[in-house]
Amino acid sequence: MKLYSNIIEGGGKPLLIVHGLFGMGDNWKTLGRKFAEENGFDVHLIDQRNHGRSPHSDDFSYALMAKDLEEYCKEHNLDKVVIIGHSMGGKTAMELATTNPELVEALIVVDIAPKSYPPHHDEILKGLSALNEQKLTSRKQADENLKEYIDNWGVRQFLLKNLYWKEKGILKFRMNLPVLKEKYEEVTDSISENALYEGPTFFIKGEKSGYIHAEDRDLLNKHFPKSQLLTIKEAGHWVHAEKPDEFYQGVIGFLKFNKICE
């Protein structure tokens, strides 16, 4: 599958950034520019299948999404990439690194562990499904209707970034919502029991998030024996958006320590 991406050229090593569930590459535009302008990375903000401007498909799994990234790297002649993945994108990045270790120079996983999770997006899926069936003519209307399901303003704004003008006066979602609902269990699944990546790996968690626990440390070391873990204080699951400066400094410190950037 040919993925859509926004490439911010910095003239140096390739840095792939992979968003989470219901997201898109544009969510990372500000940090992407910073990595390009201040550290010389060629930053690839990638939309995963069934998200953003990338193609829709009835097939959806981490194996397929990792294969999409592998094909993307071949198409763009990329080798020895640094990859940052958030949440679902973190699992895609882990899948790519463990199945194609020669392709990945360093792995950065944001607020997700290589384990299965219980379903926890019920209200979001209900709200998005309700909106998907409505005739939406303004973003204000969409926000008011979504508020019935989701109280958090920031989460609503994140989700509503998926809206676009399909035709004059009609808003629609870019994401393939029916498939994301149908294949939701794929998103919550763990990586393979035997998965292993021995390159430098950096896990970043938000202090207020419940996605990575202290007892997960042995699991991280099992699959990623050269891993480090950074906890960013006062941050939740969207740690890169909530604490961008701390997140950026943490990533650059890790890359400098491993002599991947100066």
CB 139 within 8 A of CB 97: no
- Single-letter residue type at 182: E
Would you call 86 a catalytic residue per the annotation? no
Q: Which of 87, 223, 227, 240 is catalytic?
A: 87
Burial 219-246 (b: 16+ CB within 10 A, else e): bbeebbeebbbbebeebbbbbbbbbeeb
Pairing verdict, β 163-167 and 170-173: antiparallel
CB 104 within 8 A of CB 83: yes
Q: What are phi and psi of 175, to 5 degrees?
A: -65, 155
Cβ partners under 8 Å of residue 192, min gap 6: 98
Would you call 120 a catalytic residue per the annotation? no
Which residues on adjacent β-strands are paired with residue 81? 104
CB 94 within 8 A of CB 192: no
Q: Which of 86, 223, 237, 240 is catalytic?
A: 237
Contacts 24+ apart (CB under 8 A), 112-115: 112/20, 112/85, 112/86, 112/87, 112/88, 112/211, 112/212, 113/203, 113/211, 113/212, 113/213, 113/216, 113/219, 113/220, 114/190, 114/191, 114/195, 114/219, 114/220, 114/223, 114/224, 115/190, 115/216, 115/219
Catalytic positions, please? 87, 237
